[in-house]
Amino acid sequence: MQKSSGMRLERRDASPRISRVFKDKFKSAGELAEIAREMGRQGRRLVLTNGCFDLLHVGHVRYLQEARALGDALLVAVNGDASVRALKGPGRPVNGELDRAEVLAGLDCVDYVTIFEETRVSALIAAVRPQLYAKGGDYTLETLDPGERAALEAAGAGIRLLQLVPGRSTTATLARAAGQGEKKRMRLGVLGSGKGSNFRAIADAIRSGQLDAEVRVVISDVAEAGILELARERGIPAVHVSPGKYRTRLEPAAEAEVVRLLKEADVDWVVLAGYMRMVKAPLLEAFPRRIVNIHPSLLPEFPGLEAWAQAVASGSAVSGCTVHYVDSGMDTGEVIAQKTVPVHPGDTPATLHARIQEAEHVLYPAVLRQLAGG
């Protein structure tokens, strides 16, 4: 049952100062169904998008303007407070549903707003039957919720996936705000298995004053990895921890040793830079929501090994890189920022990887700067 279906806004918030524009734009599901029907009769298109829109940022505004340009009117369905909690955790939303909806209504590109209670927007799609549905580009047609996709197909609605603005997210904004009170320099522990060009980009950003951080230790599962040599050249403690007998992760004793080294170095962020093993419980638990990784594709596309080769083999015209929080899955953690890179005709895996790496060297220091609070 949609909370907005029968309930008028006046009954939900009696505040006399509630903005006129909000009153005009706030609609129930029934009203929206009528609007969509009428627009359909006139050959016009109602575009629906949905989200939490907690702490509006420029990424939201650009995304909403693009969504509006796809049709003749834009409806924003705002996740109700309970569904934001279910999706984002107990600390969210920062702003209540009526406040979030009223802020959205203040944007010229937003024609209608409504609030829905479920974590998925399928029931509202079925009730309203918009002509188009727009969604942020961290989804693909395959990863769109099956229920939402089925509801869109049943309604005959088109689907458009829009690029998100790299580096702009409510999660990153909140992380910055949380860090500001402390004004402490970020203390990084870097884990890598390879040549270490991402580590070098981070170290260079620190040296040039663009990133207020310090790398306190570099750890590798590969004794001869270039990243250890680069760290030693910079006078940073560089330690090889033998991974043990597994191929895709560390043996528990090895991972415990990595945690010990990171704690001993008193790091507060763990940065995976070309680290080719999955991270498991002891490390994840020791640094909750403080482990980030860079991956050479636009996740959720091409997780796993040699993402650049997967991109070339797929024939895709665009790839890129992603910085994300690390969870126990393979490249499945929450995306913080992405940067796109074109795939040129005739690209080989090596030429594409080189181009992606150039983007990585810009994106990773920039994301760390955001997480550091500046």
Residues that bind ligand GAR (CB under 6 A): 192, 194-198, 227, 273-274, 294-296, 307, 331, 357, 360
- Partners of 339 in the β-ladder: 321
295 included as an active-site residue: yes
Using CA atoms, how far apart are residues 70 and 259, in angstroms rounded to an integer?
49
Which residues are within 8 A (CB) of 49 and not within 5 positions of it... i.e. 6 or more apart? 63, 64, 67, 74, 75, 76, 77, 133, 134, 135
* Residue (172 or 294) nearer to ligand GAR, CB: 294
* Residue (51 or 166) nearer to ligand GAR, CB: 166
What is the DSSP code (8-state) at residue 257?
Answer: H
* Residue (98 or 227) nearer to ligand GAR, CB: 227
User: Minimum Å distance from CB 367 to ligand GAR?
Assistant: 13
Q: What value does the CA radius of gyration of the chain take, rounded to a whole number of Å?
A: 23
- Partners of 340 in the β-ladder: 320
Residue found by looking up tokens 């100062």 in the block: 17
User: Minimum Å distance from CB 268 to ligand GAR?
Assistant: 21
* Residue (160 or 195) nearer to ligand GAR, CB: 195
Among the listed residues 57, 60, 240, 295, the single catalytic one is 295
Contact at 8 Å (CB) between 124 and 157? no
Which residues are within 8 A (CB) of 307 and not within 5 positions of it... i.e. 6 or more apart? 295, 296, 297, 301, 319
* Pairing, β 291-295 against β 269-272: parallel
User: Minimum Å distance from CB 162 to ligand GAR?
Assistant: 25
User: Minimum Å distance from CB 340 to ligand GAR?
Assistant: 15
Residue number closest to ligand GAR, CB atom = 274
DSSP alpha helices (H): ranges in 81-169?
Answer: 81-88, 97-105, 122-128, 146-155
Using CA atoms, how far apart are residues 79 and 45, in angstroms rounded to an integer?
22
User: Minimum Å distance from CB 266 to ligand GAR?
Assistant: 24
* Residue (194 or 300) nearer to ligand GAR, CB: 194
Q: Which residues are designated catalytic?
A: 295
